[in-house]
Amino acid sequence: MLKDKPLWVFLGGVVVAVKYVIVGVVVVAVIAAALTLLPTLHQAPVQYVGSPSGYEAFVPSGQTINYNGHTDPTGTLILSNGNTIQNVVWDGQYASTIIQNHNAIVQLNNQFVGQTDPVNNQPYVPLQDFYVIKGQVPIQQVTINGQTYYVIEASSINPANIAGFYTYQGWVPNFVVAINTPGTYAAVLPGNSPVFQETNTTGTVAYQTMLYEHYSPSFSSGRVVLVLPNKIIPYGITYSPSGSAISFDSPSQVYSSS
């Protein structure tokens, strides 16, 4: 039975006038036409960035975002070639751990920066946590509240290929360059190392990473250094994540300055 009256159909904010409607039957064509007018969420496909044989690093900014119903840290991704990607979201495994670790280091910076290292008598400096990924990083470009972000799909990365570190905040890019330089290795500073007495940032950070390890369970090892041909970079290791495939997470050598 046909009725020659217009029927106004409201679908997701779109009003559609239908002149002829078969009573008791949904007009699928009309609904489909109306739905095509609704806004859709576009997400780009997952891409892989970085080097298959290199190391990339996520540096949390201290800001978080609600993504897929949970809280994720945001920050910068430093690629093995030194390029950076801003507005990066770490989603998936270790997201809450990264937030916890970063909050811990911010608290310790607030407590100690401005005080004096008792060994070399230099002021403490702000330290920064960061998270190294061995190999390429899967990211997806998404739009959240009108802002473009690049989401690391962390749950698709082998946990053995993720490790956390901390060092002087101004050295993080140098750290990434160093671990991507052939011949760089990690070593432990002995307790009586003259490095601690150096009256520069190197001496300060060597002691400060050990200090932070003492004050927070988020950090499992301080007084570690990257050894390059003409310099060293002191750093510490987070308790988690702790990637077994990343040698800089478990140094087996002892550093000698001689």
Nearest Cα residue to 248 out of 165, 183, 192, 135: 165
Q: Is the pLDDT of residue 38 over 70?
A: no
DSSP-based three-state secondary structure for 110: helix
Amino acid at position 163, single letter:
A
Q: Is the pLDDT of residue 16 over 80?
A: no
Q: Is the pLDDT of residue 95 over 60?
A: yes
Q: What pLDDT digit, counting tens, does each position of 39-89 carry?
A: 333 577 899 999 999 999 999 999 999 998 999 999 999 999 999 999 999
Amino acid at position 178, single letter:
A
Number of other residues whose CB lies within 10 A of the CB of residue 228: 15
Between residues 241 and 23, which one has the greater pLDDT?
241
Q: Is the pLDDT of residue 35 over 70?
A: no
Task: List, in order, residues 6 or more apart from 228 with CB less than 8 Å away.
Answer: 178, 181, 183, 184
Query: In the prediction, which pLDDT does 24 show?
Result: 41
DSSP-based three-state secondary structure for 99: helix
pTM here is 0.83
Structure tokens at 99: 């937030």
Contact 127, 108 (CB under 8 A): yes
Percent of the chain beyond pLDDT 70? 83
Q: Is the pLDDT of residue 139 over 50?
A: yes
Question: Rg of the chain's alpha carbons, rounded to an integer?
Answer: 26
Q: What pLDDT digit, counting tens, does each position of 219-247 carry?
A: 998 889 999 999 999 999 999 999 999 99
Q: Is the pLDDT of residue 158 over 90?
A: yes
Contact 48, 33 (CB under 8 A): no
99 vs 115: CA distance, rounded Å: 25
